[in-house]
Structure 1
Amino acid sequence: MRTFRIRTTVLAATTAALALALTACGGADGAGTKDEGAAASVSKVTPGADSGTTGSGTSGGSGTSGSSGTSGSSGTSGGAGTSGGDASASATSAAQTGAKKKNDGKTPACTVDDVKISAVKQDGVPTTHITLTATNVSGRSCTLLQYPLIAFGDIQTAKDVPSVAKSKPATTVVLSAGAPAYAAVRINEGGVDEENRAVSSFHVNLFAADGPAEGSEVVGAPAGGIAVDDAVAKTGYWTYELRNGADEF
């Protein structure tokens, strides 16, 4: 009896161990199937990541490639923008400074046919000064010598308005095509004066290399006309920029 019970117990234990082993094998097979399913699932998502649909899902090539492409594009675009900005800034600067050129003595003097002259009132009431603007319309460079020769009366009898020496620039004004130069002109001392006379237009001539040039240009006075006192009228020299405060006279 005792021996039978021991054999039975051993047989039962062996059977139980075999059942557990079979169960474990079945579990391993199930887990393998699930893992294969997961792997298949990942392989389906990965192409999507490579095509850009889920770029963040790919830690390597797709993300890096996308970043590189964007960086290259923006770099090229930025470079072009900077270059265009520099070119634009250079063109604007040249225009504002009157496209200054070194005077080599070979640039001919501007004639009245080379420049278009206009006049505007300077700020302040009453009007005591006007500003003359001479714009080079010749299509080539020319030298604007000294100051405007202004006659506020008959061209044959009126005396030229005297210049103010302290307004003379350090260098000669050389204008490229389309560039302007300026001159401030005092026309009266302000207030009502019996010596003032109404002027609706006046004559402006220019200097040649050896003195006053031939001919003159008729310049219209600013809207409403101007009141001129010949006894106090003075003109500044031509300059690239109207120097506010520097030409006070």
Structure 2
Amino acid sequence: MNTPRHRSALLAVAGTALVLSLTACQSDGDSASSATPAATVAASAASARPAGEKGTGTSGGTGSADSARSTGSKDSAGPAGSGGSSGSGGSSGSAGATGERASASAPLCTAGNVTVSAATQDGPPYTHIVLTARNTSSHACRLTGFPHIQFLESHKQDVPAVAKSKPAAPVVLTPGAPAYALVKLSDGGIDEDNEPVSAFSVQLEGDPTVIAVTAPGSEGIAVDPAKALTGYWTPELREGADDF
């Protein structure tokens, strides 16, 4: 039989237990609620972040990597670019093309920067002479075509040129450099209509100036106007092409 004192004690014990239970629940609830908002904030912040900005730290690292890559590619592009320009310089090392352009841009040789002389080419009977045109200027010049020769006042037409002696490339004379043209005077026969020539005139292609050339030998040369021929200007006499 429960007395009032026993009931009071039981009630006091039950109340204490209830208070402790409630305190424990509240404590658990507080820690859960305090953890939940933090997790919720972090999750919300993560979900609220735009996809492109996801992981700002990573993006910062990626930015550094990108800038490093772009710096690297810029550095590598620098040498590649210069390598390219050196490659195009080899387009200058395509020195062939550059040389041809330089040859094409050289001015024509004229009587003002070229001297012309004559020498016998073979022994008696002297049927050929060799003309030498030498660049006496301080710059390169282009010697085109063949010498326009007139041996006699009675024959005003130029001596015909032999087509097979035409060189494949333009003749460019650097300062002091010579070019040659073989000239046939006659067939060397005693029955030819040869005439003595002590001097004759030569004109260069593209220049109307008449150059007076002294004939080689103390007695000059014997010329048959009907048999006379001239070759083109070449850097050297070529066997075959200049045999006529």
TM-score, normalization: structure 1? 0.55
Query: Which aligned pairs between 1:1-249 and structure 2 lie closer than 5 A?
Result: 102=100, 104=102, 105-154=104-153, 158-208=156-206, 213-223=207-217, 224-249=219-244
The 2-side partners of 1:151 and 1:103 are apart by 34
8 Å CA contact 2:155, 2:225 repeated in 1: no
Structure 1 residue 216: deviation in Å? 1.1
Q: 1:196 to 1:176 in 2, by over 3 A?
A: same
The 2-side partners of 1:121 and 1:157 are apart by 22
SS of equivalent to 2:186:
coil
Structure 1 residue 138: deviation in Å? 1.6
Structure 1 residue 247: deviation in Å? 1.0
Match for residue 36 of structure 1?
none
Structure 2 residue ranges without an equivalent (≥5) = 1-98
The 1-side partners of 2:208 and 2:233 are apart by 19
AA at the equivalent of 1:135: R
Deviation readout 1:35-70 (Å, 9 max, x if unpaired): xxxxxxxxxxxxxxxxxxxxxxxxxxxxxxxxxxxx
The 2-side partners of 1:124 and 1:111 are apart by 32
- Between the aligned residues of both structures, percent identity stands at 52
The 2-side partners of 1:103 and 1:128 are apart by 39
8 Å CA contact 1:102, 1:174 repeated in 2: no
The 2-side partners of 1:227 and 1:102 are apart by 41
8 Å CA contact 1:103, 1:172 repeated in 2: no
The 2-side partners of 1:247 and 1:179 are apart by 20
Structure 1 residue 194: deviation in Å? 4.7
Structure 1 residue 170: deviation in Å? 0.4
Q: 1:123 to 1:157 in 2, by over 3 A?
A: closer
The 2-side partners of 1:242 and 1:218 are apart by 23
Q: 1:245 to 1:125 in 2, by over 3 A?
A: farther
8 Å CA contact 2:171, 2:234 repeated in 1: yes
SS of equivalent to 1:166:
helix
The 2-side partners of 1:128 and 1:157 are apart by 19
Greater Rg over alpha carbons, structure: 2
Larger helix proportion of the pair: 2
Deviation readout 1:193-227 (Å, 9 max, x if unpaired): 3510000000000112xxxx211100000013100
Q: 1:173 to 1:196 in 2, by over 3 A?
A: same
Match for residue 88 of structure 1?
none
8 Å CA contact 1:103, 1:174 repeated in 2: no
SS of equivalent to 1:207:
coil
SS of equivalent to 1:102:
helix
8 Å CA contact 1:161, 1:235 repeated in 2: yes
